[in-house]
């Protein structure tokens, strides 16, 4: 950081972080933060990078790009605050740093919904080649936590939309994932969760029952002895 000093920067000069993993911002919570900032000010500095760009007239202009603190920036604008305290991150300005710090801040504050969290992990894997265990170490979580988050992205878009909007919980998503290879049953269970307000435990019991029936059917169909018995019974009964 630039001498670890706090700089007061005009909010209109700060560009958003293109790697911000968070897509949804709760307006009620944002308004509450705005009211707090209006009364007490911004208590924690934002983190930005500083760039100098050449203008059309040949002059030099300074631009800042946000790394961490988008909620504080949005709430400050809502509160009519003109300047906010910032730490300026210097050194190598790269996209990985922007994504990493934005993800870490959001995960530490538990501000990301499960879908945005999973998609941010996916970007670290696909764009930067991170292993699940490495992501876990950076955010203070286990490898299993990261892997389970990424598995959420195997769900259909309508279920992901409901999870993102908080209409179903991450706990509900687990039994739905058990039925990824049974799309009709998965869709039915999803509707039951939505309309009948099933608990996570109830959803898990239904998903397990469907999975067990599938295994039984597969075993029955693939067992030659059972098939022979079935044929004899059919001949005897004429059915």
Cite the active site residues: 70
Residues 197, 203, 206: CA angle, nearest 5 degrees: 130
* DSSP string for residues in 218-231: HHHHH-HHHHHHHH
CA 196 to chain centre: 26
* DSSP string for residues in 131-187: -HHHHHHHHT--HHHHHHHHHGGGS-HHHHHHHHTTSS-HHHHHHHHTTTT-HHHHH
Strands across the sheet with 46-54, in order?
Answer: 6-10, 83-89, 46-54, 60-68, 14-15
């Amino acid at each position: 950081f630039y001498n670890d000093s706090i700089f007061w920067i005009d909010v209109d000069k700060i560009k958003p972080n293109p790697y911000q993993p968070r897509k949804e911002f709760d307006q009620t919570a944002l308004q509450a933060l705005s009211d707090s900032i209006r009364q007490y000010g911004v208590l924690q500095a934002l983190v930005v990078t500083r760039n100098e760009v050449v203008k059309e007239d040949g002059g030099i202009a300074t631009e800042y790009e946000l790394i961490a603190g988008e909620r504080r920036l949005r709430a400050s604008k809502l509160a009519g605050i003109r300047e906010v305290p910032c730490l300026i991150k210097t050194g190598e300005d790269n996209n990985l740093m922007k994504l990493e710090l934005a993800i870490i801040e959001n995960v530490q504050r538990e501000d990301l919904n499960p879908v945005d969290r999973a998609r941010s992990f996916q970007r670290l894997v696909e764009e930067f080649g991170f292993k699940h265990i490495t992501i876990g170490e950076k955010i203070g979580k286990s490898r299993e936590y990261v892997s389970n988050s990424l598995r959420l992205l195997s769900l259909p878009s309508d279920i992901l939309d409901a999870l993102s909007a908080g209409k179903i919980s991450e706990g509900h998503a687990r039994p739905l994932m058990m039925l990824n290879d049974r799309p009709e049953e998965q869709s039915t269970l999803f509707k039951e969760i939505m309309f009948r307000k099933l608990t996570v435990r109830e959803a898990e019991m239904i998903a397990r029952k469907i999975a067990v029936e599938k295994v039984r059917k597969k075993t029955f169909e693939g067992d030659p002895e059972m098939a022979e018995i079935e044929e004899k019974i059919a001949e005897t009964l004429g059915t």
